[in-house]
């Protein structure tokens, strides 16, 4: 690092920011939220993924007191821009995991909005879950996050339900952007 800094400052007369500069393996450094992978491809830096998750955590808080449709609209606004920025990165696994986590957060919000067991049961029966399983979910004494991960909650608020609510899938949007980027220009 010392010899590189001496060359840049002495010969090229450039100023080196020593806090941001480092000599390290290429996989350990990030640039504009991206990181380089072994094969030379782009990936999403772990810090960028953590920041996105923190922002989504703020958007999907259970005590915000807004309608689920509005919350989904805010989540879609953030995630579509974020995925578009990282459209050239190889991040399918991370996006699939983030998709699942967002859906569970939104299930949790919807369950809390129902508040009482009778309202939870009415929501589930309306979505086609058998009555016996509905009673199990509605009468569960566990917290909202625990309830949102149960099979009856997944049955009632499945992928089709989220598509009906117009939630944008991160992995599907990323795949669509990558295939659109590979088309020849006409």
The answer for residues whose C-beta is within 8 angstroms of residue 83's C-beta and 6 or more apart is 95, 170, 173, 174, 177
Domain assignment present for residue 40? The answer is no
pLDDT recorded at residue 185: 42
Residue 6: is its pLDDT beyond 80?
yes
Query: Is position 20 within any domain?
Result: no
State the residue range of the domain holding 122.
Answer: 47-181
Give the integer Cα–Cα distance in Å for 132 and 122. 13
**Residue 58: HSE in the Cβ half-sphere, 13 Å Cα cutoff:** 6
CB-based contact 121:138 (threshold 8 Å): yes
Whether residue 169 contacts residue 99, with contact meaning beta carbons closer than 8 Å, is answered with: yes
What per-residue confidence (pLDDT) applies to 134? 78
Longest dimension (CA), the chain: 77
* In-domain check, residue 4: no
Give the chain's domain count.
Answer: 1
Residue 14 in domain: no
Any domain includes 38: no
d(CA 40, CA 102): 30
Q: Is residue 1 part of a domain?
A: no
The reported pTM is 0.82
Residue 17 lies in a domain: no
């Amino acid at each position: 690092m010392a010899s590189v800094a001496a060359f840049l400052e002495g010969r090229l007369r450039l100023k080196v920011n020593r806090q941001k500069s480092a000599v390290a393996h290429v996989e350990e450094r990030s640039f504009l939220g991206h990181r380089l992978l072994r094969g030379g491809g782009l990936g999403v830096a772990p810090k960028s993924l953590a920041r996105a998750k923190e922002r989504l955590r703020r958007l999907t808080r259970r005590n915000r007191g807004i309608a689920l449709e509005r919350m989904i609209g805010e989540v879609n606004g953030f995630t579509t821009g974020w995925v578009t920025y990282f459209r050239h990165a190889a991040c399918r696994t991370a996006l699939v995991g983030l998709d699942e986590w967002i859906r569970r957060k939104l299930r949790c919000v919807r369950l809390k909005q129902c508040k009482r067991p009778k309202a939870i049961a009415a929501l589930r029966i309306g979505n086609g879950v058998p009555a016996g399983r509905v009673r199990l979910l509605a009468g569960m004494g566990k917290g909202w996050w625990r309830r949102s991960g149960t099979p009856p909650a997944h049955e009632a608020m499945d992928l089709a339900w989220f598509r009906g609510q117009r939630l944008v899938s991160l992995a599907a949007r990323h795949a669509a952007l990558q295939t659109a980027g590979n088309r020849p220009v006409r």
